[in-house]
Structure 1
Amino acid sequence: MSRIVASLAAVLASLSLAACGDDGAEPDAPSGGAPASRDLELILDFQPSAVHTGIYAASERGLFTDRGLVVTIREPGASTVAPKLLRSGRADLAILDIHDLAIARERGAELIGVAALVQRPMAAVIAADSSVVSDPADLAGKRVGVTGLPSDDAVLESVLASGGLSLADVETVTIGFDAVPALLGGKLDAATAFWSAEGVRLSESLPTREFRVDEFGAPSYPELVLVTTAERLAEDRRSIEAAVDAIAAGYEATVEDPDAALADLLAAVPELDEEQQRAQLDAVIGAFGDSRALDLASLAQWAQWDLEHGIVEELPDINAAFDLEIAGN
């Protein structure tokens, strides 16, 4: 009788082990059966600010964790660092200015845009005194600061053209990213900058006039895009999709409740100035739109504009440069 009981116990044990071996867990899942989390590195385009609120909202609210991700958010040492980190495999995702994506791809980087963070251009020519410069034509003979990036010349050229002018009609001065001190110090009459950041800060002290590039000759295109590599997308598309989904939810939450999302940003980056970030968020929130989707028609117009204004030498291949499916249409 005892041998019968022992045999029955052995059979039950073997069945139990077989069932445990077929519990549907991922092959690399921990013993508890939960899927292993995936670590991702996300590189910002610049220092954390209001434009990144949706990303920090996703992080602070556990939206990445809910999707099996552990996302580390880092700011770059310089605007040229992110493409290098992506290509070397030291980053999985990065935020790039859409023009920088085009330039990087033309130089051979197999980078792919997978989502739009801001659905319209943020670049502008900002004049220090609206009583002196109220129309693009008023820029004739004026000193205008540019960062030195190819896209800045394109923005200035587009705004000037809308007033019947060309680059030859103004004095350009390369100032890097010092538009705010240069204009506040009276060294320039105008400068290229983001209306969503520098424009907000300048308007607190000067009677500025903004010429937003998509209102003066440029098409509407997504200024900031979330980018990965073709290799990463092929190897781990599911994780990239999950990250985009979490970020999309973070931006949706930001649009629905900006104050709560701002609190998430400040909790993650407490050294930021609350009032300054609140003002920037108020300015940019309408540009987030209601989706992270990339629009084919807008991208086609952007590609043509970049080519015409010398940002790139060849027309960007939109189908190769963007994956329109990940963030939806």
Structure 2
Amino acid sequence: MKRALALAAAVAALVGLTACGEKEETTTAGAATRSITLMLDYLPNPDHVGLYAALENGDFAEAGIDVRVVTPSDPAAPLKLLQAGKVDLAISYEPELLIARDKGAPLVSVAAIAQRPLTSLVSLKRGFRGPRDLRGGRVGTAGIPYQSAYLRTIVDAAGLPADSVKETSVGFNLVPAMLSRRVDATLGAFWNVEGVQLQRERRNPTILRMDELGVPTYNELILAGEKEFVGEQGDLVRAFVQALGRGYAAARADPQAATDALVQANPDLDAGFALASVRASLPVFFPSDTSKPFGWQEPRDWDRYGAWMYEQRLLSERPNAGAAAITNEFLAGQSG
């Protein structure tokens, strides 16, 4: 979830960031424009390709929205700043949202950006085929509680004794921990980011996705808002979400052009890697049910995942996640 290749830790600090609700500004052409401050979940990367395609193609401008994109100084910051009213919308993760809500945060997910888990079990060991090969081994994680729960679930589903696999916290140094052979596998890297990079480096990784290993499926990346803001600024949220969806649709139609927009805005990204990652990621940005719009969140999946989190003692109460934690009302073709 929180990125393993620490891409230089969090470069952009939040100095001077102030609360930004819906505001009226005047463009040089004299048209009224509303503004939104969006906080990313991490540094800009291929997961955000649709955002940068929408910015480049003028989708937000056409909707009358001026978007300010900010990055977190700490991966835990987006939802905290969202609750504090310092940003209007934030990209985050389904488990993080459910944990925040369990602690009383009045937050709601208004769209899914990644429909499936991106978090993966990765090993560079020769002969590693699956979880059964973890017996007697060490698995590196970032030390996040729900990653520990993923590992317990995987070990149990594989029929291994709970004490046959050792978890080692390696922080965000997941890939270096494998390269140095400190661990036999890692859990936490994204298959579409670190996994793609390892494949490009011809390190022959074995990559297994969470929902293939016994963990209930979930939306890895979500777009979250504070309930009062979402309720009061519904038209603005709807316009933003649907413009964002057009950006991801443009990326699907022309991955090269969308990647060019991403890299142009973030020149530290390697263009070859970015394109490979975008191509690998595109299917996960859209529902498998083609009758559903971009951003769709399946209530039953949220209920199952929320129940699993409760059973793993990650939540103090069983959440009514499918009804309370999400809304699809701002998606194309949907209504409140």
What's the TM-score once normalised by structure 2's chain length?
Answer: 0.85
Check the 8 A contact 1:157/1:166 in 2, yes or no: no
1:232 to 218, 229, 234: 229
Give the match for residue 240 of structure 2.
243
- In the alignment, the residues of structure 2 paired with residue 149 and residue 200 of structure 1 have an alpha-carbon distance, to the nearest angstrom, of 23
SS at match of 1:37: strand
RMSD: 2.0
* Alpha-carbon offset, residue 309 of structure 1: 2.6
Change (3 A) 1:327 1:215: same
Check the 8 A contact 1:159/1:211 in 2, yes or no: no
1:38 to 34, 37, 46: 34
Change (3 A) 1:33 1:260: closer
1:64 to 60, 65, 78: 60
- In the alignment, the residues of structure 2 paired with residue 300 and residue 267 of structure 1 have an alpha-carbon distance, to the nearest angstrom, of 39
Change (3 A) 1:210 1:130: farther
Greater mean deviation of Cα atoms: 39-48 or 299-308: 299-308
- In the alignment, the residues of structure 1 paired with residue 27 and residue 80 of structure 2 have an alpha-carbon distance, to the nearest angstrom, of 37
- In the alignment, the residues of structure 2 paired with residue 127 and residue 29 of structure 1 have an alpha-carbon distance, to the nearest angstrom, of 51
Check the 8 A contact 2:111/2:223 in 1, yes or no: yes
2:327 to 317, 323, 327: 323
Give the match for residue 168 of structure 1.
163
Check the 8 A contact 1:143/1:170 in 2, yes or no: yes
Greater mean deviation of Cα atoms: 275-284 or 93-102: 275-284
Check the 8 A contact 1:150/1:310 in 2, yes or no: no
Give the match for residue 276 of structure 2.
279
- In the alignment, the residues of structure 2 paired with residue 238 and residue 275 of structure 1 have an alpha-carbon distance, to the nearest angstrom, of 38
Structure 2 matches for 1:94-243, cutoff 5 A? 94-131=90-127, 133-192=128-187, 193-203=189-199, 204-243=201-240
Please state which structure has a larger fraction of its residues in helix.
1
* Alpha-carbon offset, residue 125 of structure 1: 1.2
SS at match of 1:286: helix
* Alpha-carbon offset, residue 162 of structure 1: 2.4
* Alpha-carbon offset, residue 29 of structure 1: 8.7
Change (3 A) 1:31 1:276: closer
* Alpha-carbon offset, residue 72 of structure 1: 0.7
- In the alignment, the residues of structure 1 paired with residue 283 and residue 214 of structure 2 have an alpha-carbon distance, to the nearest angstrom, of 20
What's the TM-score once normalised by structure 1's chain length?
Answer: 0.86
- In the alignment, the residues of structure 2 paired with residue 82 and residue 31 of structure 1 have an alpha-carbon distance, to the nearest angstrom, of 28
Equivalent position amino acid for 2:211 in 1: D
Check the 8 A contact 2:303/2:320 in 1, yes or no: no
Check the 8 A contact 2:216/2:305 in 1, yes or no: yes
Change (3 A) 1:231 1:240: same
2:314 matches 1:311: yes
* Alpha-carbon offset, residue 45 of structure 1: 0.5
Unmatched 5+ stretches in structure 1: 1-27
Check the 8 A contact 2:54/2:247 in 1, yes or no: yes
* Alpha-carbon offset, residue 220 of structure 1: 2.4
Aligned residues: 301
Equivalent position amino acid for 1:140 in 2: R
* Alpha-carbon offset, residue 32 of structure 1: 11
Unmatched 5+ stretches in structure 2: 1-23, 288-293
Higher-Rg structure is 1
